[in-house]
Amino acid sequence: MKVTLHQLRIFRVVAELGSIARAAERLHLTPPTLSIQLRQLSEGLGVTLYEVVGRRLRLTGAGEDVLASAQKLDAELRALDQRLAARGGVERGRLRVAAVSTGEYLFPSMLGRFRQKHPGIEASLQIMPRDSLIRRIDQGLDDWYLMSRPPEDRNLTVERVGINPLVMIAAPDHPWTRRKRIDFRAVSNERFVVREPGSGTRLWTEEWLRRFGAELKPALELGSNEAIKQAVRGGHGLAVISLHAVRLELEAGLLALPRVPHFPAPVWWHRVQRAGAAISPAARAFGSQLDEELPQLDEDLRTLLQRHRQPWSTKA
């Protein structure tokens, strides 16, 4: 059996993403290069690893076995890297952080400041939808996971680290911005713009509507917070979104916060890790930076809500 670590890593990424093209982008290689490596891996093992169904790859039984071993090997190598980094102290090593989509509005700048303080640490940040983040948790790919709704059916260590208020946004001329009371008829007849199934804001929208005995019937389903904001500004309906995502638009008067029961929703950021996972010095240092920076950001968000007469409360 002639197999290399490089081939196993390529196969693992291709299998996890379900696409050679996406894996090539992730690995900064060309699709033909990946195809050659996968063919050589298959020939070296003497088995067929996958078949192409439509535009996605479907693993064979042998492919599933190889993927499981490749993931275990990757986890062991990362654990070795952490142990070696611990011997060298915080100024060397690797930090891997993954966050849900709303994290794009605050965590890149935090990580940039972290890199300036610790230039010897190789740090990376992945931003993705909640469902994709949960898959990364299952695979144990990162040191920290930052999200608002950690899954309850996993063995995880979860710490609350900062507020992430969810607000209802509307175009400034939307009728709800002038209403003093929202009743069932208004809610059941309103149009809502939502993220993809499984997203935290969509789950909260569904839960909020159920309080009124109404069911979510999306007017638009969009794949990013920026698209959500543009759709709301364009008059396509209301949306639930993190306050982090609309700070600039609220200040500029491009979006408004209607007075709606149960909003702003008392949602929190959580720092998540697989239970029992080792914490490297680099991960510990970044965790400390979160603890230092998030309280001031929390205060800024509370002040913004006060200006819009929607004070933060832990009751929804």
DSSP per-residue letters across 7-23: HHHHHHHHHHHT-HHHH
Average pLDDT over residues 285-308: 94
- Helix 31-45 crosses helix 20-27 at what angle (to 10 degrees)? 110
Whether residue 285 is found in the same domain as residue 155 = yes
Enclosing domain of residue 45? 5-68
What CATH code is carried by the domain that includes residue 59? 1.10.10.10
Whether residue 127 is found in the same domain as residue 204 = no
Whether residue 60 is found in the same domain as residue 113 = no
Tokens 């740090």 map to which residue? 123
pLDDT single digits (tens) 92-151: 678 999 999 999 999 999 999 999 988 888 899 999 989 899 989 988 889 999 999 999
Least confident of 42-46, 67-71, 181-185, 289-293: 181-185
Say how many C-beta atoms besides its own lie within 10 A of residue 85's C-beta.
22
Residue 13, in any domain of the structure: yes
Whether residue 233 is found in the same domain as residue 205 = yes
188 vs 208: which has the higher pLDDT: 208
Whether residue 196 is found in the same domain as residue 259 = yes
The residue among 22, 37, 68 that closes a domain is 68
Tokens 């569904």 map to which residue? 206
Whether the pLDDT of residue 154 is over 70: the answer is: yes
Residue 154, in any domain of the structure: yes
Contact 134, 126 (CB under 8 A): no
Mean of per-residue pLDDT scores for the chain? 88
As a whole number of angstroms, the distance between CA 91 and CA 122 comes to: 10
The percentage of residues in the chain with a pLDDT greater than 90, rounded to a whole number, is 51
Whether residue 96 is found in the same domain as residue 132 = yes
Predicted local distance difference test score (pLDDT) of residue 141: 87
pLDDT band at 315 (very low <50, low <70, confident <90, very high): low
Predicted local distance difference test score (pLDDT) of residue 194: 93
CA 192 to chain centre: 22
Whether the pLDDT of residue 155 is over 80: the answer is: yes
Whether residue 238 is found in the same domain as residue 186 = yes
As a whole number of angstroms, the distance between CA 146 and CA 130 comes to: 10
Number of domains the chain is built from: 3
Rounded (10°) CA dihedral 90, 100, 18, 122: -20
Contact 161, 295 (CB under 8 A): no
Whether residue 105 is found in the same domain as residue 254 = no
Q: CA-based Rg of the chain, rounded to a whole angstrom?
A: 22
Residue ranges of E strands in 243-286: 268-274
Contact 205, 286 (CB under 8 A): no
Whether the pLDDT of residue 180 is over 90: the answer is: no
Residue 313, in any domain of the structure: no
pLDDT single digits (tens) 211-237: 888 888 888 999 899 999 999 999 999
Residue 114, in any domain of the structure: yes
Length of the chain: 316
Whether the pLDDT of residue 29 is over 80: the answer is: yes
Residue 82, in any domain of the structure: no
Whether residue 127 is found in the same domain as residue 113 = yes
Whether residue 248 is found in the same domain as residue 188 = yes
Q: Which residues pair with 311 in a beta bridge?
A: none
Residue 139, in any domain of the structure: yes
pLDDT single digits (tens) 246-290: 999 999 999 999 988 888 999 999 999 988 887 888 898 999 999
As a whole number of angstroms, the distance between CA 259 and CA 261 comes to: 7
Residue 83, in any domain of the structure: no
Whether residue 209 is found in the same domain as residue 257 = yes
As a whole number of angstroms, the distance between CA 41 and CA 25 comes to: 20
Predicted local distance difference test score (pLDDT) of residue 184: 67
Whether the pLDDT of residue 171 is over 70: the answer is: yes
